[in-house]
Amino acid sequence: DNTADTAPTSEELVQLSLLTRVIKESLRLFPGIGMVARNVVKEMECGGYTVPTGKMGVILNLLTRVIKESLRLFPGIGMVARNVVKEMECGGYTVPTGATLVVFIFGIHRDPKYWPNPNQFDPDRFLPSASDQRNPNAYLPFSLGPRNCIGYKYAMLYLQTTLSTILKRYRILPGDRVRSVEDIRFEFGMTLRLLPGNDVRLELR
């Protein structure tokens, strides 16, 4: 029961944190994102404040690109670790069996080798024409392979549904303190965590 007066679970808090980063980065920091919001609302083609269905989510490819670009700049986790089960060569080094490799997701997502102007917010990086030319291993907000996040499809659907529902009811406007990517204050722990001071304004449509 979503109306019950109970404390949020740890899973709900993680989801809320992820959604907050998406909203702040994709809809508030850059002037052009206001047009993104208007286009998303226009594409939805559903009256009132109806929650989007799975079919509606399919047509929201623009919103999906916005979410993906936000997760590129601010992945939920900054790194993942993997145990080496067989000796291998990596970057000119021999990695022995039993060693632990740490993959720095945050660094890969901002590597200009894969992402031109990596600190710039550009949802069109995820157009098919751009994605087809890029190493697919350069984008891993949910990790990759058989040990990737088991809930990544649910997470994307959750973000699409929640964000599009918010956009149906509110305009998301710049706050007073954060005007660029560099202004966002965060730190890494087990997950990427926003620090106090990041603001956002909502205006009823």
What is the span of the domain harbouring residue 74? 10-204
Q: Domain tally for the chain?
A: 1
Closest CA to 124 of 44, 53, 200, 30: 30
Q: 33 with 63: CB under 8 angstroms?
A: no
| Domain assignment of residue 127, yes or no | yes
pLDDT at residue 42 greater than cutoff 80 = no
| Domain assignment of residue 45, yes or no | yes
Whichever domain contains 81, its CATH number is 1.10.630.10
pLDDT bin (cut points 50, 70, 90) of residue 118 is very high
Which pLDDT does position 5 carry in this prediction?
A: 47
| Domain assignment of residue 58, yes or no | yes
Which pLDDT does position 176 carry in this prediction?
A: 82
| Domain assignment of residue 165, yes or no | yes
- Summarize the annotated binding site for heme as residue ranges: 149
| Domain assignment of residue 5, yes or no | no
* Residue of higher predicted confidence among 137 and 58: 137
Q: 97 with 87: CB under 8 angstroms?
A: yes
Query: How confident is the model over 132-144, as pLDDT tens digits?
Result: 999 999 999 999 8
pLDDT at residue 55 greater than cutoff 80 = no
- Summarize the annotated binding site as residue ranges: 149
| Domain assignment of residue 199, yes or no | yes
| Domain assignment of residue 1, yes or no | no
